[in-house]
Amino acid sequence: MKFASALLLCFAAVTASANEQRPAAFKPDLAKGAATAAVCSACHSSDGSRGSPAQPILQGQHPEYLVKQLTEYKSGLRANAIMNGLAATLSEEDMKNIAAFYASKQAKPGFAKDAELAKLGEKIYRGGVAERSIPACAGCHGPNGAGIPAQYPRMAGQHADYTSAQLTAFRGGVRKNNAQMIGVAAKLNDREIQGLAEYIAGLH
């Protein structure tokens, strides 16, 4: 009994020591995020909402995904002259605060401008193109475009211009920070890319 008691006391001491050494979970500061993100407003609007069609809507995006992209801009894995320069000045804490700020917002629904292209996009998004081994986008980004935190971004309502530009960049090897998307985009033609972009713009 004494031996068992000693083991229990030892275990309790080790557990307590481990808990003391474990760093506290980071709690994002939305106010700091908003202040740091002020420099982003020129392209992304003050709150990451529906600004320029050439720039992504950041409202409601998964914070883990935003941190990943900022980290890859900082490292140069994702290339963009403006974003590379801005991300270079950010600490990991800055990135998490900015990401939490944008994620705390809810983007307004978007809409497709070309119904015919959107129908083509819907077929690919939901069913892929089996004869060309193009997988359904819904398999990773979800039927409603909600995505999966840290892995796949939220797509629903995203600007068609931005989505089209990113798929084209993946296809051409200009955007190199996702091997899976490079492989998928390589099989898409211009009309299919435009169709997907239109469908995603109205997805909700």
For the chain, list the domains and their CATH numbers: 30-103 (1.10.760.10), 115-201 (1.10.760.10)
CA 193 – CA 117 distance, rounded (Å): 9
Does the pLDDT at position 6 exceed 50? no
pLDDT digits (tens, 9 = 90+) for 66-113: 999 999 999 999 999 999 999 999 999 999 999 999 999 999 999 999
- In this structure, the chain runs to a length of 204
Please report the pLDDT score of residue 4 as a whole number. 46
DSSP reduced 3-state for 30 = helix
Please report the pLDDT score of residue 32 as a whole number. 97
Number of neighbouring beta carbons within 10 Å of residue 95: 23
| Tokens describing residue 116 | 């015919």
Average pLDDT (175-181) is 96
What phi and psi values does residue 133 have, to the nearest 5 degrees? 55, 40
Classify each residue of 130-139 as buried b or exposed e, where b means 16 or more C-beta atoms within 10 Å of its C-beta. Answer: eeeebbbbbe
C-alpha pair distances (Å), 189 with each of 98, 116, 130, 134, 197? 35, 16, 15, 12, 12
Closest CA to 194 of 172, 168, 157, 155: 168
Q: Are 137 and 42 in contact (CB under 8 A)?
A: no
Q: How far apart are the first and last CA of the chain?
A: 63
Closest CA to 49 of 112, 96, 105, 101: 105
